[in-house]
Amino acid sequence: MVSYSFTLMTFIVALIISTVIIYYIAGFFGAKDSLTTALMAALIGTAVYTIFYYVLGQGLVAAFVAGIVWLLALQKLYTIGWFKALIIAVMIWIVTSVAGLFLPVL
């Protein structure tokens, strides 16, 4: 069984890495917001996916609905349009997927 402290530490490390990735990718696309905004995006993304996977179960429907809600969150946090939010989200997904190959916490 995994301890609570290990789970918490893993969550914090993953959150920090995700925040940094979101910050740099959003900045690359012209967003001038702070690390706090990136942290909020990471926290909201985690909460949204957790809730929708819990309610709708594992699957494409849950991933699609959660993805749309996270795009809405990115749009509001960074005051950008849908298309730019989609491009940023896809880039975040690609970079975190690659980082996940090297860092098993993601």
Residue 23: its pLDDT value, please? 94
Q: What is the 8-class DSSP label of residue 79?
A: T
Per-block mean pLDDT, blocks of 10 residues, the chain (106 long): 76 88 91 88 89 86 90 92 92 90 70
Alpha-carbon gap, residue 82 to 30, rounded angstroms: 15
3-state secondary structure of 61: helix
Residue 52: its pLDDT value, please? 87
Residue 87: its pLDDT value, please? 93
Residue 90: its pLDDT value, please? 93
Residue 36: its pLDDT value, please? 92
Residue 43: its pLDDT value, please? 92
Alpha-carbon gap, residue 56 to 24, rounded angstroms: 31
Please state, in angstroms and as integers, the Cα–Cα distance from residue 85 to each residue in 19, 27, 39, 60, 94, following that order. 16, 12, 16, 20, 14
